[in-house]
Structure 1
Amino acid sequence: MLESLFPNVEMEDMLTATYETLYMTIISVAGTFILGLMLGLLLYLSSPGGLWQNRTLNMITASTVNVLRAIPFIILILLLFPFTDFLVGTIRGPKAALPALIIGGAPFYARLVEIALKEVDKGVLEAAKAMGAKYRSIIFKVLLPESMPALISGITVTAIALIGYTAVAGAIGAGGLGDFAYFYGFQRSDWDVVLACTILIILIVFLFQFVGDSLSRRLDRR
């Protein structure tokens, strides 16, 4: 039945493309979570009234985040070609897409982290300060645990955006379902290939959304 619906789809190649999309997404989500969390913490902690209130640091961090968020992803990939070639040794393939995916996703997630941290009850922070808790304890034992459900929701939204970025990266040779849909579907006018890739990307999005929502709800009940 699948062969009649998708006569031009080579299943082995499709499975390889799906694996490449999952590889790029999972690795980039992990990198985005770490880098975005660091940037988000810097934005929050260095803001007026923050634990590390520092106008200069906040301005530099905010400007960096805003500039990177403003660059369209396809242009960011091109701008990062020299850096990617230096870091990975190539500008093609799934590994070569990772620097652009992480650098493109981290600023977006950083703003979501900042919003999540601002929602933490200030009374809890004041209580921790009154008890003599050090900054490290406040960050890792109060701020992050209290905001974790929102942080997970934020990385879920970011992960779905990154899945879309992998498809864009595929159009310039990064591999994955975007690459497969463009080179083996669109350029050959095999629209069943494009449709099959679209369906798989949608399924991957649903999977990440389900996992993220489930984890966020579980953390919120604690």
Structure 2
Amino acid sequence: MPRVARRQMDASVFLIVQKSHLKLFRSNQDRSQFLSYLKEAKLKYQFACYGFSLCDDDRFGLIIHVKHQTISKIMQSLMIAYAKYYTSDEPLYKERYKSYPIYNEIDMANAFNQLHQTDSPYASLCYYNGTREDSIQLIDYYTKQPFDLKPVNKTPLPDKVVALCNEHHCTSEEIKKNKTLRNQCILEIYRETGCSLKELSILFEISTSMVSKIIKNEANQL
């Protein structure tokens, strides 16, 4: 029976919990590898991660602020990458992850309490209490400042391209020829339109892997 698509919720911050019938983390090496995939996913999909916990052997939890892509696309990328690394003869995830929308400060506090029950290098509490400082690209500190919990209306791709051409007083072909400008525009288009890497690859006539690399490099420089 095909899976039913998830209902769209009017939130952009979620507590994600994924369980496995297998020993999801067989060692701390597995946990470290998972965190490396989380860093890669953050750069690729440009979301914020406010918290995580990999302390249990059979599950993980994340607090994610979706900004530019859907939660399903982010989680699919992360979970497939880890499953390929894990190389199990059995499916690693028999059930879909649970996503709990976060609408207010109480929801956020409850989510943090759920993830921060253990002060471990593999739970984000270690970043918040200062025992680890290498959190660049991994943890985005939640400072209780107001943020929009509803999805931002995306600019249509054609409209954004026209706007960039007008802003830089050039044509789309001229943007393609100027690599520095092209790379900046790719990241800006990706963030503001929510388009796919494939759409960008077609638009700029380059490979999807090159688009992904450009987005990561440009985001690193900000």
The two structures share one fold, judged by TM-score above 0.5: no
More helix by percentage: 1
Q: Computing the radius of gyration over CA atoms, which structure comes out larger, 1 or 2?
A: 1
TM-score, scaled to structure 2 = 0.24
Structure with the larger RCO, 1 or 2 (CA within 8 Å, 6+ apart): 1
Normalized per residue, the structure richer in strand is 2
Please, what TM-score do these two structures have when normalized by structure 1?
A: 0.24
